[in-house]
Amino acid sequence: MRRAPTPTPDLRKPRVVFNPIAYRGFQRGVNLIAEAVRPTLGPLPGKVAVARAALSLPPEMLDNGALIARRIQELPRRNEDMGAMFLRHILWRLQDDVGDGTATAAVLFQSLYNQSLRYIVAGGNPIALRRAFEAAIPLIRRELDAMTFQVQGAAQLAQLAESICHDHELATILGEIYDIIGEYGQLDIRDGRRYEIEREYVEGTYWNSGVLSPDMITDHRTLRVDLQDAAILISDLAMKEPHELVPVLEAVRCAGIRALMITVDEMSPSVRGLLLANRRPGTFDLAAVRTPDSRRTEGRMVMEDIAALTGGRPLIHDAGETLNDFSLERLGYARLIWADKTKFGIIGGKGDPKSLQAHVNNLKAAFARARDADERKRLRERIGRLLGGSAVLWVGGLGPSHVEARKSLAIYTSETLRGILREGVVPGGGTALLDCVPCLRARFEEATDADERATYRILAKAFETPMRTIVANAGYDASEVLAEVKLAGRGHGFDVRSGRVVRMIEAGILDSAAVQKAIVTDVISAVGLALTIEVLVQRRDPPVAHHKAAGS
Amino acid sequence: MQEMEEFQDYVYAISPSPDFAQDGICFVGRKSGLFRWDARTQEWQNAYESLQLPDALVTPAVALSPTFSDDHTLYAGTSGGVLRSEDGGKSWVLGNMPKPPPVITVLLPSSNFVQDGLIFAGSMEDGVLRSPDRGTQWHRWNFGLVDLHVLSMAISPNFARDQTLWVGTDTGIFRSINGGRSWRPLNFPSELAPVLSLTVSPAYPDDETLFAGTEANGLYVSHDDGKSWQRVSPELFPETVNTILVSSGSGGALHVAVATDSALYISYDAGNTWHDLELRLPEDEGISTVAAPSGVQPGAPLLVGITNGQILQCAIIART
């Protein structure tokens, strides 16, 4: 008789976990991430040492909540892992969206989730709780709006930046930069060449797309071509035949135009030869660059922006247009158009200022509507370009890893400063959330439904947690300090550096309103969602690609 | 009224010496160049004589250092850059300008010039240029300045503290609160622009008052730092307002002088009531600009630039 085959477990087969096991595991994961991030909350953050992949290297010393969470890529117990990854994702998204607030979000989430679970285990209704949580969000946002005020000036921005990045030199320069470029300004953050941090302001705007041929570069000292009082032919056409371009060049020359920049998707060597042959330095300057992102949807947007800046009208391949559709009215103009091997830029576009302002306003409206982080970034970059300047920040450090860490700090501090410029600031150090407590308590008193009352009680308690954590992290007795702060009244908080209860605005201890609102919205919605989880379905062998995408 | 001189060109700018009452010196930017009048000699001199220019150098803007009597420093904004003289116009140096060379329309030294050495230039197509070193190096600073056609500028009397200045452009008014390094639009309706003239109250930190004169829509005032604007006396100022001058009078009253194309009005109560100076202008000519060397005070002199190149000197009428 043949022996029966040995059954082999299918690791891809899902494992289904029901409550209360699901809750417990999920909760352990949430608590693990929150506790890992908790020491970093406040102006005197503790460090978290994270082992590197190469064990011979010293551990990374981190005080950024999102980065710490990001380093925790997988927990051995799958139920815990799901809870941990859930919170990790929230922190990460928050960091991407507003650049700060991850530690506050972690402790707030933990408090809300743990309290709510206790209530549900005692018989509370998770669905009703979720509804009540979501209904509380607008109320809390209105409270935060009422506390919000605008900041201005490099000094105030630098002070706020330092409270985020704890790097005085970086904060001072970022304060100056954002005072100049504003909330939409374009800032390139690059590896520095020295230990110090340096900045440079770039006039006009530029795109990452260079000249089509090195022969078009006329200034061999700066390795670029400068066209003064130039016209620009904006297109995403492929120019293959010289005879197509000849009438264009003739018309331009006859119109007395002394310099012409052409943007194209592609230009054949023979057309390039035609341009170079007809070039007369000083009297008829010619150059061509590849239209930035010409083969993607963004290419059309870049052409729209160049058109708004210069007053031109693009020749668009997808609209069936060719060089035969060219007329002088389609040219744009600028005081200076420049290009080098990798970039081309425009200074002093001569487009109609009213049309340009209208274009910028449309983009700002789209930015306000956009929810997707990438789309918001794209729109912000476009607005920044149109507003006439950009800055480059060269981040130096002691070595490559120090530079990387400082660059990362610079990136998320920048994001927060943009939010501050856009939406203002609120009293910092957990005061803004603490000052929401009276209105939550008032709602608690008004509510008659048990789940609703529980929601406001849970929120009121949770909104004390960020200040408690900041105080405790600085080595003070949180209960004692909180009692003092509450006695001092609205707007007061604890300055952990001086060890005194102060009016936070007067002490200059401020937080980004955008960050606080994002924390409230993201965390409360996420807690509501997490509370409704009844079942965990696990893959025993998570697909590698998915895992990498979420973790790297 | 005394007719000082006649030139067949256009007066763009008049800049009297800060000690005009004593030294009687004033510089006039014209289509035909820059001219210096010395009260002691009663003579006009071509201030560009040392340059031996083959053609007239159009000079739309001129500005004197607040300590001109000591340092003899003045600036001339031309179609090609800003010239600087440190000897009262005897010799000139061209400031180091960005390319292409800008056409300067207005020059404005910082109200804290002695300490900070900052001077600003508005230009026809290049926005605002800023020199941090008394006019040697110039850089364009146009972050946020969507309209690069600058027609007028004004600076806060408290600039050393608030770092605030304004520019009037073809499409509205922009404000900088960081010493001219970035700009934000003010809430001035673009359909009322271009803004030819802009002035700030000497008590701006307290009264937050700004005046804006437009090319075709009259005179506007804001008492809330540019957040809202009210039209002033449309019957007197139906269209072009070329120049607005303001001074503090006795008891803190705001004295205002406003020049339209054809008339010059004085108000001693912040623009509530107006007195016509009843200038006798040459036929078919108008007022292009006005300067008040001793401020807008009763009996003080006024220098009135005429569109044919004449300069008229008159006294401000007494308060009635």
Task: Measure the CA angle with vertex A505, ends A501 and A507; round to 5°.
Answer: 55
Work out whether the CA dihedral A355, A360, A365, A371 comes out positive or negative: positive
Question: Cα–Cα distance between A116 and A487 in angstroms, integer?
Answer: 28
What pLDDT score was predicted for residue B227?
Answer: 94
Question: Cα–Cα distance between A343 and A324 in angstroms, integer?
Answer: 28
Does A389 contact chain B (CB < 8 Å)?
Answer: yes
Q: Residue A17 — pLDDT band, cuts 50, 70, 90?
A: confident
Dig out the tokens for A515 from the structure.
């960050």
**pLDDT surpasses 60 at B320:** no
Mapped onto helix, strand or coil, the DSSP state of residue B47 is: coil
- Cβ of B170 within 8 Å of Cβ of A353? The answer is yes
**pLDDT surpasses 50 at A484:** yes
Nearest residue in chain B measured CA to CA from A185: B143
Question: Does this model's pTM top 0.90?
Answer: no
Interface of A with B in 133-192 (CB under 8 A): 152-154, 179-182, 185
Distance, in angstroms, between B166 CA and closest chain A CA?
15
Q: DSSP secondary structure string, A331-400?
A: -EEEEEEEE-SS-EEEEEE-S-HHHHHHHHHHHHHHHHH--SHHHHHHHHHHHHHHTTEEEEEEE--SSH
Residues B202-223: tens digit of each pLDDT = 999 999 999 999 999 999 999 9
Size of interface A-B (CB pairs under 8 A): 71
Question: Cα–Cα distance between B194 and B171 in angstroms, integer?
Answer: 6
A contacts of B100 (beta carbons < 8 Å): 228-229, 335-336
Contact (Cβ atoms closer than 8 angstroms) between residue A222 and residue A339: no
**pLDDT surpasses 60 at A542:** no
Mapped onto helix, strand or coil, the DSSP state of residue B265 is: strand
Residues B129-154: tens digit of each pLDDT = 999 999 999 999 999 999 999 999 99
Q: Which of A179, A336, A353 sits opposite B146 (nearest CB)?
A: A353
Question: Cα–Cα distance between A86 and A95 in angstroms, integer?
Answer: 15
Residues A155-193: tens digit of each pLDDT = 889 988 988 888 899 999 999 999 999 889 889 999 887
Q: Residue B317 — pLDDT band, cuts 50, 70, 90?
A: confident
Task: Show which residues on chain B lie within 8 Å of chain A, measured between beta carbons.
Answer: 98-100, 125-127, 139-140, 142-149, 169-171, 177-178, 181-182, 184-185, 190
**pLDDT surpasses 60 at B4:** no
Distance, in angstroms, between B206 CA and closest chain A CA?
19
Nearest residue in chain B measured CA to CA from A152: B177
Q: Which of B126, B143, B171 sits opposite A354 (nearest CB)?
A: B171
Looking at residues B27-47, what average pLDDT do you find? 84
**pLDDT surpasses 60 at B43:** yes
Reported ipTM: 0.87
**pLDDT surpasses 50 at A64:** yes
Q: Which of B144, B171, B177 sits opposite A152 (nearest CB)?
A: B177
Residues B273-287: tens digit of each pLDDT = 999 988 888 888 899
Question: Cα–Cα distance between A530 and A527 in angstroms, integer?
Answer: 5
Mean pLDDT over the full length of chain B: 90
Q: Which of A182, A185, A387 sits opposite B146 (nearest CB)?
A: A387
Contact (Cβ atoms closer than 8 angstroms) between residue A294 and residue A287: no
**pLDDT surpasses 90 at A543:** no
Q: Which of B125, B143, B185 sits opposite A350 (nearest CB)?
A: B125
Question: Cα–Cα distance between B72 and B84 in angstroms, integer?
Answer: 10
Please report, rounded to a whole number, the percentage of residues in chain A having pLDDT higher than 70. Answer: 95
- Cβ of B146 within 8 Å of Cβ of A357? The answer is yes
Dig out the tokens for A437 from the structure.
């407590």
**pLDDT surpasses 90 at A195:** no
Mapped onto helix, strand or coil, the DSSP state of residue A132 is: helix
Q: Residue A551 — pLDDT band, cuts 50, 70, 90?
A: very low
What pLDDT score was predicted for residue B228?
Answer: 95
Residue holding tokens 């009322």? B192
Question: Cα–Cα distance between B51 and B63 in angstroms, integer?
Answer: 19
- Rg, C-alpha atoms of chain B: 18
What pLDDT score was predicted for residue A552?
Answer: 36
Alpha-carbon distances, residue A389 vs A161, A183, B219 (angstroms):
22, 12, 32
Alpha-carbon distances, residue B143 vs A185, A203, A453, A537, B126 (angstroms):
8, 8, 51, 53, 12
Mean pLDDT over the full length of chain A: 88
Question: Cα–Cα distance between B151 and B5 in angstroms, integer?
Answer: 27
